[in-house]
Amino acid sequence: MLSDFKVAAVQMVSGEDVALNLAQVEKSVAQAATEGAQLVALPEYFPVMHHDGGFKLSIAEVFGDGEIQSKLSELAVKHNIWLVAGSMPLKSKQEDKVTNTCLVFDPEGQCAARYDQIHLFDFQRGDEVYKESDSHEAGHQPICFDTPWGRVGLAICYDLRFPELFRALDNVDLLVIPSAFTVPTGKAHWQLLLQSRAVENQCYVLAPAQGGQHENGRATWGHSMIIDPWGEIMAQIETGNGVISAELSRKHFEEVRQQLPAWLHRRL
């Protein structure tokens, strides 16, 4: 098992052109890899943020086949990295809905994990309304995967508010939580929730986000972060396209769990 492991979070302000967004992904992943990242994570809905909620249906791919998935696999091989591909729409069992799916590609370009978002974001505050349940089919299964450094658990955006999901994961060393928080919810709760998940699970948290004013009129909070098992922020970026990285230490991870073995003290 590796003692240290460098990870990176890619922050984006995705627009309505899939090709342009993928070009930004390619540029950012290359930057992260050049800086030594061994695992790179993209934000939620990195391929597109469109004004037409139904547009995602037109670009949704079948799992295991499609241009976006091929590009992600290619990038993982090219840069010899683990690529946690934020989220993208995949075709679901319901013809009028998609799954909001995070795919993980290993350095050989193979899909090592698939996670479909379990908790769908239905929110209304004044004129600001989001109802993901109208266009998305919810997932049902918590997902982890193993890297040479440790065990990684996956969640997407709104999942962050449900601590029971993270308890259902199998004793993870790192949580990756790609997101596109709204500005009001992000300002109020983003950092608080990320630090809470890190502290209560005594693990690292890697949180790549959408961050800025999008072509479709939506504004996202950004503030991508990397947080250690003690809840300390190791790296962050406020808004705009960018890459942050940090070195995960196996020694530090184990020291936190040994000094305050809360994981072993659970009774429920």
CB 56 within 8 A of CB 88: no
In order of 6, 68, 100, 178, the CA distances from 222 in angstroms are: 21, 23, 19, 11
In order of 18, 50, 62, 128, 194, the CA distances from 225 in angstroms are: 25, 25, 31, 25, 8
> Residue 256 class from Cβ within 10 Å (0-12 exposed, 13-18 middle, 19+ buried)?
buried
- The whole-number average pLDDT for the span 63-89 is 98
Both structure tokens of 9: 């979070």
Residue with tokens 């052109």, as numbered in its chain: 17
User: Is the confidence at residue 122, as pLDDT, over 70?
Assistant: no
User: Is the confidence at residue 266, as pLDDT, over 90?
Assistant: no
- The whole-number average pLDDT for the span 153-180 is 96
User: Is the confidence at residue 68, as pLDDT, over 70?
Assistant: yes
Q: What is the largest CA-CA distance in the chain?
A: 51
User: Is the confidence at residue 128, as pLDDT, over 90?
Assistant: no
pLDDT at 88: 98
CB within 8 Å of 210: residues ≥ 6 apart: 11, 12, 13, 14, 43, 44, 45, 46, 49, 179, 180, 220, 222
**Which residues share a beta bridge with 39?**
7, 82
Which uninterrupted H or E stretch holds 111?
A: strand 111-116
User: Is the confidence at residue 125, as pLDDT, over 80?
Assistant: no
User: Is the confidence at residue 38, as pLDDT, over 80?
Assistant: yes
- The whole-number average pLDDT for the span 9-24 is 98
- The whole-number average pLDDT for the span 117-143 is 81
- The whole-number average pLDDT for the span 37-64 is 94
pTM of the model: 0.96
- Lowest mean pLDDT across 112-126, 157-171, 188-202: 112-126
pLDDT at 118: 97
User: Is the confidence at residue 158, as pLDDT, over 70?
Assistant: yes
> Residue 252 class from Cβ within 10 Å (0-12 exposed, 13-18 middle, 19+ buried)?
middle
Indicate the pLDDT class of residue 132, thresholds 50, 70 and 90.
confident
In order of 53, 88, 111, 131, 253, the CA distances from 114 in angstroms are: 23, 11, 8, 23, 26
Q: Where are any strands of DSSP class E within 170-231?
A: 174-176, 204-207, 211-213, 219-221, 224-227
Which residue in 178, 101, 191, 113 sits closest to 151, CA to CA?
Answer: 113
Which residue in 98, 17, 21 sits closest to 57, CA to CA?
Answer: 98
Q: Which CATH superfamily is domain 4-265 in?
A: Carbon-nitrogen hydrolase (3.60.110.10)
Question: For a pLDDT cut of 90, what percent of the chain falls above it?
Answer: 88
CB 210 within 8 A of CB 15: no
User: Is the confidence at residue 124, as pLDDT, over 70?
Assistant: no
pLDDT at 129: 59
Which residue in 236, 231, 225, 161 sits closest to 195, CA to CA?
Answer: 231
User: Is the confidence at residue 127, as pLDDT, over 80?
Assistant: no
pLDDT at 254: 96
Both structure tokens of 134: 């109208």
- Lowest mean pLDDT across 78-92, 233-247, 252-266: 252-266
